[in-house]
Amino acid sequence: MVALLGALAGELVAAGVTRPNIVFIFTDDHSLQTIGAYNARLSAFCRKQGVTPNIDRLAARGGLFVDSFCGNSLCSPSRAAILSGLHSHANGVRTLSQPIREGVWTFPGALREAGYQTAVIGKWHLDKTPAGTDYWRLLNGQGTYWHPEFSGPDGKEKRNGYATDIITDMSLDWLRQRDTTKPFMMMIQHKAPHRNWMPPPRYYSWLGKVKVPEPSTLFDDYAGRMSPAHNQKMEINRTMTMDGDLKVLEPGKWGQEFNRMSESERAEWNAVFGPRNEAFFKAKLTGRELTRWKYQEYMKDYLRCIKAVDDGVGRVVDYLKEAGLEQNTVVIYASDQGFFNGEHGWFDKRWIYEESIHMPFIIRWPGVVKPGTRFTPFIQNIDYAPTFVEMAGGSIPDGLHGKSFVPILRGEKPADWRKSVYYHYYDFKGAHNVANHYGVRTERHTLAHYYATDEWEMFDNRKDPQQLRSVYAEPGYAKTVGKLKTELNRLRGLYKDTDADEGARISKP
Ligand code: CA
């Protein structure tokens, strides 16, 4: 009998139904190109420089999803889709800082009902406080890198120091004092590596003498694409700011982010960046050389912020091991969307294009996910909520757009799994002038409709992985265009997205 129970327990463990703890480490704007564990543009560079050793170790001991996508590549919308399992038009968060629609189900409450202790610490970036969480300490809006303020049930509190380290400290503090009789779900939500990429002092000089590989599309002229790609305002060349983003400050002048620093913190910054700025002023760069300089400096600060996040991941993983929680805790590393790291000459996100629509998703689940697995099925941010609820043995409500991918994590191949993903971006009126569009991404193609101007693009991602030439109007692709439009209409029907009229109004200049 004992042996039988033992065998049953073994089976349950193998099936992943032991109600694991869940640690969801979530960052802001971290591209998968800048994770060593992926095989993306800067992965080899990141491995060589040791940008993400702890995140890479998670992937080696667990797995990663090669094709993890968002449905609307923007902070608040992605966060709302993750919480609700619904696309933007259904959860109500189409653009930045809109509230989740009244009465919409979100997963932390379902986990609490299933007996979990739930906590969220860090960047929230949604209008309402987190429903269903036992503990929450949230950055206000975007939050700040230096000396951030947190809101909790008892009001606001300012913490001294660097946001990434503080969020990790607060997360470990919560873990140490939690109710150990219950399983837990904790969301550790970093501000980093969001614009304007303020690194911590310990990495000011790191990568100083290294050259970050340039993308071959750094000087993209947008030929081969429709008017939205020409009209955007997200180029490193034209849009990135010299003071705020690149921190090129005249001696004695400080920008907004620096106003939060103490005098000694500014002095520490100036000791490294002062000489850099001096050399920059002297060099009087113009044209492509100036763009190249901006790219290098942008990327170094971005990677320095990521390195601090990776330190935090290491500290959390170490704590789980010390506390004997490693075997029964799922650790996930993800970010709210992808990001352009100079590809197409851009920074930021928003587009259905590859670097923007892809999200990193790395998961370690001992006994369930086979170490080193590279999962290829398409997952989307709408899938996280039902996945977490299934892990916790809770009940998944009907009507979600997302599906639990726990079976995929177990190594199964569900026959009816999605072969295409739906995308809809709405924030033309926000920053960067990216036209509203919806579209579909399949294994090989991307189809996008910019509906305010009724322009279409289609990319053959196998022949043109950098997406430089739309083949939408090419006669040889007419049949494929037809098939993709049918698929796009099917998805719009499936998710009941009738937003295009409203979206078109938003989109018109
Ligand atoms: Ca973001």
Q: State in Å: Cα 485 to ligand 1 middle.
A: 29
Q: What sign results for the dihedral spanned by CA atoms 339, 381, 364, 122?
A: positive
The Cα 1–Cα 8 span in angstroms is 10
Question: What type of residue is 202?
Answer: R
Mean pLDDT value of segment 91-116: 94
Q: State in Å: Cα 338 to ligand 1 middle.
A: 8
pLDDT of residue 498 exceeding 90, the answer is no
Give the model's confidence band at 502: pLDDT under 50 very low, under 70 low, under 90 confident, else very high.
Answer: low
pLDDT of residue 416 exceeding 80, the answer is yes
Asked which of 48-57, 463-472, 483-492, 495-504 is least confident by mean pLDDT, the reply is 495-504
CATH topology of domain 422-506: Arylsulfatase, C-terminal domain (3.30.1120)
In the chain, what percentage of residues exceed pLDDT 90? Answer: 90
Q: What sign results for the dihedral spanned by CA atoms 173, 174, 179, 180?
A: negative
The Cα 196–Cα 144 span in angstroms is 10
State the burial class of residue 481 (Cβ atoms within 10 Å of its Cβ: 0-12, 13-18, 19+).
middle
What's 34's DSSP letter? G
Question: What per-residue confidence (pLDDT) applies to 12?
Answer: 46
| Greater pLDDT, 16 or 139 | 139
The Cα 94–Cα 97 span in angstroms is 9
Question: What per-residue confidence (pLDDT) applies to 24?
Answer: 98
- Looking at beta carbons, which pairs linking 221-226 to residues 24 or more positions away fall under 8 Å? 222/344, 224/468, 224/469, 224/470, 225/457, 225/468, 225/469, 225/470, 226/450, 226/453, 226/455, 226/456, 226/457, 226/470
Q: State in Å: Cα 234 to ligand 1 middle.
A: 15
Residues 426-456 have pLDDT tens digits of 999 889 999 999 999 999 999 999 999 999 9
Give the model's confidence band at 98: pLDDT under 50 very low, under 70 low, under 90 confident, else very high.
Answer: confident
Residues 272-292 have pLDDT tens digits of 999 999 999 999 999 999 999
pLDDT of residue 77 exceeding 90, the answer is yes
In the chain, what percentage of residues exceed pLDDT 70? Answer: 94
Q: State in Å: Cα 78 to ligand 1 middle.
A: 8
User: 163 with 139: CB under 8 angstroms?
Assistant: yes
Residues 297-340 have pLDDT tens digits of 999 999 999 999 999 999 999 999 999 999 999 999 999 999 99
The Cα 261–Cα 498 span in angstroms is 47
Single out the residue of 61, 174, 161, 79 nearest to residue 123, CA to CA. Answer: 79
Q: State in Å: Cα 71 to ligand 1 middle.
A: 13
Q: State in Å: Cα 157 to ligand 1 middle.
A: 24
Mean pLDDT value of segment 466-487: 98
The Cα 31–Cα 372 span in angstroms is 20
Q: State in Å: Cα 99 to ligand 1 middle.
A: 17
Q: State in Å: Cα 356 to ligand 1 middle.
A: 10
Question: What per-residue confidence (pLDDT) applies to 506?
Answer: 46
Question: What per-residue confidence (pLDDT) applies to 252?
Answer: 82
Mean pLDDT value of segment 79-92: 97
Count the helices and strands in the chain (H runs, E runs).
Answer: 15, 16
Q: State in Å: Cα 28 to ligand 1 middle.
A: 4
Q: State in Å: Cα 194 to ligand 1 middle.
A: 7
Q: State in Å: Cα 220 to ligand 1 middle.
A: 24
Q: State in Å: Cα 29 to ligand 1 middle.
A: 4
CATH of 2-33+51-192+310-417, one of 2.40.170.20, 3.40.720.10, 3.40.50.1220, 3.30.70.1050: 3.40.720.10
pLDDT of residue 15 exceeding 80, the answer is no
User: 382 with 400: CB under 8 angstroms?
Assistant: yes
Q: How far is CA 39 from the centre of its chain?
A: 17
Residues 6+ apart with CB under 8 A from 299: 212, 341, 342
The Cα 33–Cα 338 span in angstroms is 9
pLDDT of residue 5 exceeding 70, the answer is no
Q: State in Å: Cα 453 to ligand 1 middle.
A: 27
Q: DSSP of 376-414, one letter per residue?
A: -S-EEGGGHHHHHHHHTT--PPTT-SS---HHHHTT---
Equal fold, 2-33+51-192+310-417 vs 422-506: no
Average pLDDT for the chain: 94
Considering the entire predicted model, what is its pTM?
A: 0.94
Give the model's confidence band at 501: pLDDT under 50 very low, under 70 low, under 90 confident, else very high.
Answer: low
> What are the boundaries of each domain within the chain?
2-33+51-192+310-417, 201-295, 422-506
Continuous H helices in 253-352 = 263-283, 287-322
Question: What per-residue confidence (pLDDT) applies to 11?
Answer: 46
User: 205 with 272: CB under 8 angstroms?
Assistant: yes
Q: State in Å: Cα 446 to ligand 1 middle.
A: 22
Q: State in Å: Cα 170 to ligand 1 middle.
A: 21
pLDDT of residue 508 exceeding 50, the answer is no
pLDDT of residue 504 exceeding 60, the answer is no
Mean pLDDT value of segment 258-273: 96
